[in-house]
Structure formats: C-alpha cells, structure tokens
C-alpha cells in the first residue's frame, strides 16, 4: 500500500523514519526545533539526501511534493523523484553528484521546470546544494534548497527581449526591413509566429492617419516569421506584400480602434471567426493557442499592427507580456516613423533630381548622346546636354556631395546656372570660373545659417566637367573642376584616355582656387567621346586595361549597348564610387547644310550678303517669310560689321534644327542693343535683328567675335 516500506530496503526504511522524526537525534533540542521549523514552515523547498542520494527528508514547499504524499517520496532516489520534473534533469543529477563527491557547493543554479505538467508551465527554480559531513569527516549526504524564481526569470527574459528589440530593430531606414527586423527578433525567443502589418501609405513615406483608423484603410503585410526556418511550415492568412483592409469586428480592429493590446485565448469557439475566416483557418492550421496583438502608434497616429502567436511554446501570453509588447511596439513605431520620414524625403529628393535631369537628349545632326549614372550613398550626380548656336553642343556632367532634398536642390541650382551661363557663349574655362563664384556665394549663405541648422556644418563641394563639341571645326573643348576624365576613340580604332591631360581646376566650393583652363582636342567624325566626373577603371588608357578594348569592340554598336557594357565591366569596388558619364558619338555635319562667304568691308557688302542669302535659301527651299527675315538680318549684321567691326568679314548660314545666320569679324567690341528715339538716324540694327530672330547672341574667339541669330524653320 502507498507509504509502506519494503523490509528488503533498509536504506529507505531508515529514510522514512528520519522523515517522520522517528530517528535518534544527535542534536540538542534547539537545533532539532530549528530543523523541524525549517522543514515544517519554510517557504523554501528543502531536500535532505543521504549518502546514496535518496530523499531522507523533504518539506511541502518543494516541487516534488505537489500532488504527492510524504510516504511516496521518502527513501526514493533523488533522480527518480525530482529530475523528471526538470527540463534538463540529467545535468542537474550530475551537478548534485559532483557536490557529493567533491564537496564543492553550488549556489544559485537556475533550472527550468518541465512543461509537461500544467502546474509547472513557465516555472523556474533556483537551486543550491551543500555536502553534509559528520564531525569525523564522514560524508552523510547532500542538502538542497529550491526557490521558485519564475517571476524574476520571467522579468529577466522579458527584459532580454526588450533589449534585443532595441538593439536589432531600427538599424535600417526601410519600413519593410524594420518590420522584418522585429519579427526576426521576437521569433522564437518570445513568440512562435509573428506578423507585422503596416498602413500602406506609411510604406510609401506618406503621413500616417490619426487614430482611430478608418475601417477601409488598407494595411500591407510587411513581415512574417514562424518557428520554422523559412516560415513555410506555418500557414498564413495572406501572403507577404498583400494589401487589404482588416475585417471588422476582430481583436485586430479593436486594438487599432482603442490603441490597447489584446491577449486572446484561441479555442475552437471564437465569436469573431465569421468576420475573418481566412485568419481563423490559418490559426486553426498552425495550432496557435494564444494571440497577443498590439497597435504600432506614434504621437497618436496609427502606423500598423503587430500580432504574436504561441503554438509550440506551451505557456500562454499574460498581461506582463502585453505590457512588454506595448514597449516593443512603441520602439518599433518610432523606428518605422523615422524610416517613413526618410522614405518621404528620399522620394522627394529623387523626384526633384529626376525632374531636373533632361528627359530626352536633344536631337543633334552631328552628335548622338547617351548617359550613365553610377549611384552611391552621400553623393548626387547629374548630366546635361545643351544645344548651342552654330550646331554646337555642350556636354555637362557633375556630382554634389551630400544627399537628400538639399543636395537635389543644389544640383538644380547648378544646372540652372550652367544653362544660363551657356547662353552667353562663354568658353568652358570661363564658365566654370563664374560657376565657382556662384558656388562660393551659396557656400557663404550656408555658413551663415544658425549653428543648429544641419546645413551649417555640411560642406558644399561639387565636381563638374563642361565640354563643347563643334562639328563644323571638328573640335572638343573641355574644362573641369575636380578630377574629370575624357576618353576618345577615333574612327580607325585608336583610343586614348585623357584623364591626366585635362587641365582641371579645384572642385567647386573648396578654398583652393586653382585657375581653370580649357583643353582643346581634334575629334574626327565618327569618333566616340566618353566624358565622366571621375576616371573609371573600365575606361583607362589602351594597353594598360581592357577598358578601351571594350570601347573599340562596341564602336559600331549603339550607345545604349555601350553604356550597359561599360557598367557591367566595372569592378564591384568601382560601383560604390559615384560617377556621371556621358557617351557621345560624333557624326559628319552635312556639307550641303553649311554655306560660307567672305565679304569685303565696303558699303556694298550688305547688298552682296543679301544676294548670297537669297540664292542659298532658295536652294534650301526655305519659306518666303523666313528667307525675307534672314536677308534683312544678314544686311543689318554686315552693315554694323562694316561700320564698327574689323575685316575680314565672314558670313555663314547653317541649316540644322534651326536656321543660323552668323557674321564673324576681327573686332572685339561688344555690340549693344539700343532703343533709338523717333528722331535718331541710327541705332536700330540690333533692335531689328532681335525682333526678327528667335534668339541671338555673341561669342568670342582668339581672332575676333561672331554675332549669330537663330530662326525656326517652317515646313514648306
């Protein structure tokens, strides 16, 4: 019968006697009374094991006595009674036997109870073990104390989860990545399944809506993880990336409504299952027994929802867990809001930069262009192609240090300034010198901002290369600020890189004011020109790198194919360096579209100019109105050159996208547009020219100046 002691087991019979207090005591009455008080009244679990590690005495506070009688426990081996109640029983048995054999005490060893018993779910105990010895040195056994530290260990575990979330979540400025960081941190340490759903507008960087969240607001399933390696073994109500509003009413919509967490026991009878059958089926298939859902909010606005489930872990969520999830949700919401703000600013900056870049390269008779932008963090870059007079084209590439909307704005300012300066027909070196002055002014304005403004401490620095291609003279004039590179491939296949030959000035915005100088190169027709803000390894000099072999190999391919080939040939380390690259292929300008005449500096020069212009425009089938206007323009330009300029005089007509009329003379005096009075006999020449032409201007060279006009050609 239970509690009886077999006569064949004298050791257990002795232990039972000790447990009942029937043994002969060697202690005095006070010591015996103390021992009886400890075993009878102490809330700390006490075990007295003999030299063979059998239970000699035990009190009711020990886990082994829950639901058991004293007679069933006394005299039985410690391993048989207590170790099945622990998660790592063999390790505890080895530890206790080591104390018995070595005499080295163990203090404060934490063990976890086996969760197979409902009363032991989530229980932790702190165990201490001491060897007992007689005055003679004989080993009598082991004394064990066991203290329930479940609340303390639970608090530590929750604190560890909170610290892990604070360390692991928020390292990225991407909304979806931040959500995935959260679920990766919580599974499997805190939950078996984790789902994060975010208001779809937040993913795009838009402002979140104030609470309560409207029922029709769509949420995107941004992150999911289960205790499986990939989550494939756990069914999902909806796939990752799915966007839809939440069915109502459910615990999820309630949490989003009152901004309070919900702990829900998931049994077979859920009153809200009809509202969300897909989610209910996923819960049933996964075997989840508890749900903890909490809103992701910041400053009273709803960003999303986190939902945690426990399937394999037997302990259900409780209110302490709900308090923890609120803290986790607050931290995650702040990280999501930071990521949202970054996404919004990045989107605005990217939109501004995209809009400031030319949508399409201008169609030029003698030049075909294509661009390549190698992006990098902390640097913005741009390119531009500008149509100039005389069938010429300006090629521009540049980079600006920094990122965000301020960098995009600065690029827009520099691009506008360059386009404005190019209208004055400045040489590349002079244009960059004036651009340097503009950057210095912008830098001074930035330095004058309050010290608390982030731009106050941000250095304003930019690189730029400006080149002008003249198809009529077959030349390319280049000037650079920083370290631009130019690579040319001739029609016969010879190629050379001119990165070291370019006379570059200091980067824009730096204190070093190295003068800018222009370099001029002969560029035959059907040549390939590659202009970049920085030298690229794939475009180094022939014989030192296969880069120019790549250019030669693609000489007959389209520029788009060449651009892709250069990008693919870049080493991985070079792709981290920002670069703006313009590819250009020169073409022969049709000889029949250019007419040039040398004029004598005499009073009859104007009449001769009109005859030449009339004859040529008739041959080109130019409409009568444009031809008449051009005759008058040529007459006025020649008359002014005879009166104020210096011979020799050269008149040139160029038929390209527009009709250009140019007059070159050796004088350097700048013409000025005057507004003559009713009684003035002169001063109306340039005024008439400006009224008849769509555009006009002056450009200077080493041997004089050229006054040009442009008119739109109308189909005949």
More confident site: 32 or 4: 32
The continuous run of DSSP H or E covering 73 comes out as helix 70-73
- The pLDDT score that the predictor gives to residue 140 is 86
Nearest in space to 382 (alpha carbons), one of 360, 414, 406, 351: 414
Residue 230 has pLDDT above 60, yes or no: no
Residue 514 has pLDDT above 50, yes or no: yes
Residue 670 has pLDDT above 80, yes or no: no
Nearest in space to 18 (alpha carbons), one of 164, 140, 128, 123: 140
Read off the pLDDT of residues 299-350 as tens digits, 9 standing for 90 and up. Answer: 888 999 999 999 887 788 889 899 999 999 999 999 999 999 888 877 777 7
- The pLDDT score that the predictor gives to residue 220 is 92
More confident site: 33 or 200: 200
Residue 504 has pLDDT above 80, yes or no: no
Contact 75, 47 (CB under 8 A): no
Mean pLDDT of 646-653: 94
More confident site: 145 or 597: 597
- The pLDDT score that the predictor gives to residue 11 is 52
Across the chain, mean pLDDT equals 81
Mean pLDDT of 594-623: 94
CA distances from residue 213 to 219, 242, 245 in whole angstroms, order as listed: 11, 19, 10
Mean pLDDT of 278-292: 88
Instruction: Using the CB atoms, write b or e for 52-62: b if 16+ within 10 Å.
Output: ebbbbbbbbbb
- The pLDDT score that the predictor gives to residue 539 is 60
- Write out the two tokens for 206: 């838009």
Span of 121-130, 516-525, 678-687 with lowest mean pLDDT: 678-687
Residue 547 has pLDDT above 70, yes or no: no
The angle, 0 to 180 degrees and rounded to 10, between the axes of the packed helices 150-168 and 175-186 is 160
Cα 459 to Cα 439: distance, rounded to the nearest angstrom: 11
Residue 120 binned pLDDT confidence (cut-offs 50, 70, 90): very low
Contact 514, 506 (CB under 8 A): yes
Span of 219-233, 439-453, 635-649 with lowest mean pLDDT: 219-233
CA atoms in the 13 A half-sphere facing the CB of 277? 1
Cα 62 to Cα 59: distance, rounded to the nearest angstrom: 6
Cα 51 to Cα 101: distance, rounded to the nearest angstrom: 10
Instruction: Using the CB atoms, write b or e for 504-538: b if 16+ within 10 Å.
Output: bbbbbbbeeeeebebbebebeeebbbbbbbbbbeb
Cα 646 to Cα 642: distance, rounded to the nearest angstrom: 7
- The pLDDT score that the predictor gives to residue 66 is 64
Residue 407 has pLDDT above 70, yes or no: yes
Share of the chain above pLDDT 70, in %: 83
Read off the pLDDT of residues 146-189 as tens digits, 9 standing for 90 and up. Answer: 888 877 877 788 888 889 999 999 888 889 999 999 999 999 88
Read off the pLDDT of residues 44-99 as tens digits, 9 standing for 90 and up. Answer: 778 888 888 888 888 876 776 666 677 777 888 888 777 777 777 788 888 888 88
- Write out the two tokens for 517: 């100088």
Q: Residue 324: beta bridge partners?
A: none
Cα 381 to Cα 357: distance, rounded to the nearest angstrom: 10
Residue 548 has pLDDT above 60, yes or no: no
Residue 115 binned pLDDT confidence (cut-offs 50, 70, 90): low
Cα 255 to Cα 529: distance, rounded to the nearest angstrom: 62
More confident site: 295 or 215: 295
- The pLDDT score that the predictor gives to residue 703 is 86
Share of the chain above pLDDT 90, in %: 28
Residue 672 has pLDDT above 70, yes or no: no
Instruction: Using the CB atoms, write b or e for 374-409: b if 16+ within 10 Å.
Output: beeeebbbbbbbbbbbbbbbbbbbbbbbbbbbbbbb
- The pLDDT score that the predictor gives to residue 109 is 84
Cα 398 to Cα 381: distance, rounded to the nearest angstrom: 6
Q: Which residues contact 211 (CB under 8 A, 6 or more apart)?
A: 256, 257, 259, 295, 297, 300, 301, 302
Span of 413-417, 506-510, 653-657 with lowest mean pLDDT: 506-510
As a whole number of Å, the CA-based R_g of the chain is: 44
CA distances from residue 494 to 209, 620, 681, 697 in whole angstroms, order as listed: 62, 37, 60, 38
Cα 49 to Cα 58: distance, rounded to the nearest angstrom: 9
Left if phi > 0, otherwise alpha if psi is -120 to 50, otherwise beta: which for 133? beta
Residue 21 binned pLDDT confidence (cut-offs 50, 70, 90): very low
Predicted model pTM:
0.64
- Write out the two tokens for 79: 């391993």
Cα 481 to Cα 509: distance, rounded to the nearest angstrom: 10
- The pLDDT score that the predictor gives to residue 53 is 84
Residue 630 has pLDDT above 90, yes or no: yes
Residue 683 binned pLDDT confidence (cut-offs 50, 70, 90): low
Contact 469, 586 (CB under 8 A): yes
DSSP H helical ranges for 250-318: 251-258, 277-286
Mean pLDDT of 526-540: 78
More confident site: 110 or 128: 128
Residue 456 binned pLDDT confidence (cut-offs 50, 70, 90): confident
């Amino acid at each position: 019968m239970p509690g009886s002691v077999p006569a064949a087991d004298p050791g257990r019979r002795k232990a039972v006697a000790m447990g009942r207090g029937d043994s002969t005591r060697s202690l005095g009455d006070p010591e015996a009374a103390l021992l009886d008080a400890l075993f009878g009244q102490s809330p700390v679990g006490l075990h007295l094991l003999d030299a063979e590690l059998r239970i000699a005495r035990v009190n009711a506070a020990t886990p082994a006595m829950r639901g058991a009688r004293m007679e069933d426990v006394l005299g039985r081996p410690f391993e048989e009674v207590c170790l099945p109640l622990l998660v790592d029983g063999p390790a505890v048995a080895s530890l206790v036997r080591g104390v018995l054999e070595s005499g080295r005490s163990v203090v404060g060893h934490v063990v976890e109870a086996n969760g197979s018993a409902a009363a032991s779910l989530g229980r932790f105990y702190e165990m201490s073990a001491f060897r007992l010895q007689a005055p003679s040195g004989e080993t009598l056994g082991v004394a064990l104390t066991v203290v329930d530290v479940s609340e303390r260990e639970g608090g530590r575990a929750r604190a560890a989860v909170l610290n892990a979330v604070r360390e692991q979540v928020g390292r990225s400025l991407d909304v979806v990545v931040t959500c995935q960081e959260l679920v990766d941190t919580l599974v499997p340490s805190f939950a078996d399944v984790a789902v994060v759903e975010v208001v779809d507008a937040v993913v795009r960087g838009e402002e979140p809506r104030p609470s309560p969240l409207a029922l029709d607001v769509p949420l995107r399933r941004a992150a999911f993880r289960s205790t499986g390696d990939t989550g494939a073994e756990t069914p999902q109500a909806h796939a990752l990336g799915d966007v839809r509003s939440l069915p109502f009413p459910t615990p999820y919509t309630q949490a989003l409504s009152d901004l309070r967490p919900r702990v829900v026991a998931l049994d077979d009878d859920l009153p809200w299952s009809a509202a969300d059958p897909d989610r209910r089926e996923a819960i049933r298939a996964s075997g989840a027994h508890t749900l903890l859902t909490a809103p992701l909010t910041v400053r009273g606005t709803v960003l999303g929802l986190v939902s945690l489930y426990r399937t394999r872990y037997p302990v259900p969520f409780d209110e302490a867990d709900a308090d923890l999830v609120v803290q986790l949700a607050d931290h995650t919401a702040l990280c999501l809001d930071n990521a949202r703000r970054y996404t919004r600013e990045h989107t605005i900056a990217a939109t501004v930069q995209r809009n400031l870049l030319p949508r399409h390269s201008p169609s030029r008779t003698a030049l075909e262009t294509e661009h390549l932008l190698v992006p990098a963090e902390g640097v913005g870059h741009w390119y531009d192609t500008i149509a100039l007079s005389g069938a010429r084209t300006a090629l521009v590439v540049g980079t600006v240090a920094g990122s965000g909307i301020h960098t995009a704005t600065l690029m827009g300012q520099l691009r506008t300034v360059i386009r404005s300066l190019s209208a004055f027909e400045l040489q590349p070196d002079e244009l960059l010198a004036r651009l340097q002055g503009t950057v210095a002014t912008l830098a001074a304005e930035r330095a004058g901002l309050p010290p608390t403004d982030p731009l106050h401490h941000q250095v304003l620095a930019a690189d730029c290369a400006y080149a002008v291609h003249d198809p009529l003279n077959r030349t390319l004039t280049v000037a650079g600020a920083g370290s631009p590179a130019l690579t040319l491939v001739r029609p016969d296949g010879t190629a050379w890189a001119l990165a070291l030959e370019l006379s570059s000035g200091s980067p824009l915005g730096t204190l070093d004011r190295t003068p800018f100088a222009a370099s001029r190169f002969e560029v035959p027709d059907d040549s390939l020109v590659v202009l970049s803000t920085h030298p690229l390894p794939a475009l180094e000099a022939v014989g030192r790198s296969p880069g120019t072999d790549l250019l030669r190999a693609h000489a007959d391919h389209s520029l788009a194919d060449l651009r892709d080939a250069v990008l693919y040939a870049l080493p991985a380390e070079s792709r981290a360096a920002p670069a703006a690259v313009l590819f250009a292929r020169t073409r022969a300008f049709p000889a029949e579209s250019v007419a040039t005449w040398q004029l004598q500096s005499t009073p009859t020069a104007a009449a001769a100019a009109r005859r030449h212009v009339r004859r040529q425009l008739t041959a080109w089938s130019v409409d009568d109105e444009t031809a008449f206007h051009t005759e008058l323009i040529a007459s006025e330009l020649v008359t002014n050159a005879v009166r104020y300029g210096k011979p020799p005089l050269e008149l040139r007509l160029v038929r390209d996208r527009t009709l250009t009329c140019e007059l070159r003379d050796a004088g350097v005096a700048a013409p000025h547009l005057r507004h003559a009075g009713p009684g003035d006999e002169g001063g109306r020449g340039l005024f008439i020219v400006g009224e008849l032409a769509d555009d006009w201007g002056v450009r200077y060279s080493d041997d004089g100046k050229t006054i040009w006009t442009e008119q739109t050609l109308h189909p005949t």
